[in-house]
Amino acid sequence: MDDDPGTTLTVDELRLRPWRPGDAEAVLAACQDPEIARWVTIPQPFLPADAEAVIRDSQTMWRTGTGAAFAIVDAATDQLLGAVTRFGPDGHQATFGLWLTPDARGRGVGSRALRLVADWTFATTEAIRLDAFIMVGNEASDRMVLRAGFQREGILRAWDLHHGGVPVDCTVYARIRGDR
Ligand SMILES: CC(C)(COP(=O)(O)OP(=O)(O)OC[C@H]1O[C@@H](n2cnc3c(N)ncnc32)[C@H](O)[C@@H]1OP(=O)(O)O)[C@@H](O)C(=O)NCCC(=O)NCCS
């Protein structure tokens, strides 16, 4: 078995690479951000063991083919900018999740990273439907997925259980193979 599975992708100044154990400290720091906790269901409080689990789980996904989990880093400095994860494909469908560090926001990092992984997924798998589920009210994320070529499909009530098991409504977006 390959000891270091995974793929590296690049666009502009961004490198998307598999997580490494040495990223745990940067993940721990990033995941203290209240905006990430507000919109992404991550453990609260987010502790060092949780950061290590992010990396361990990502390596398992690559090894088992159950997904593709990338650290988004600055190609020149390797500074952590965020995370983009593809869960699946499971059959013809795969789902995306994404967060950025606060200083990486507002310059197209999320939309370019998401578009890159979506294009790569269509090129390298049989997936037909890529989707993302965004809590209602997360307007930055709504704009990001539209910029990445996804289309809004509707609202799913009580789709997710947020911290403490609180049901939250999500907007579903999808990009279908062959969409312009
Ligand atoms: C959601 C989140 C990932 C979006 O990040 P973002 O930087 O706002 O989104 P993008 O990467 O699409 O950047 C778009 C912004 O950069 C600008 N931009 C600059 N260059 C750009 C380029 N080449 N391409 C696209 N946008 C560009 C756009 O004008 C846009 O600004 P605007 O949203 O004020 O109009 C980020 O806000 C975040 O991590 N939030 C907390 C966690 C979270 O909500 N995760 C998502 C859960 S579903």
170 alpha carbon – ligand 1 mean position (Å): 18
Report if residue 145 sits inside a domain.
no
pLDDT at 124: 97
Strands 14-18 vs 166-176: parallel, antiparallel or unpaired:
unpaired
What pLDDT digit, counting tens, does each position of 21-64 carry? 999 999 999 999 999 999 999 999 999 999 999 999 999 999 99
171 alpha carbon – ligand 1 mean position (Å): 17
pLDDT at 180: 82
pLDDT at 111: 98
Report if residue 143 sits inside a domain.
no
76 alpha carbon – ligand 1 mean position (Å): 21
Q: Is 105 in the pocket of ligand 1 (CB under 6 A)?
A: yes
pLDDT at 164: 85
Report if residue 50 sits inside a domain.
yes
The CATH number of residue 86's host domain is: 3.40.630.30
Report if residue 39 sits inside a domain.
yes
Q: Based on the structure, what is the number of domains in the chain?
A: 1
Q: Is 140 in the pocket of ligand 1 (CB under 6 A)?
A: yes
Q: Among 148, 94, 152, which residue's Cα sits nearest to residue 121?
A: 94
Query: Which pTM was predicted?
Result: 0.96
All residue ranges of the chain with pLDDT < 50 are: 1-2
Range of the domain at 58: 9-129
Report if residue 153 sits inside a domain.
no
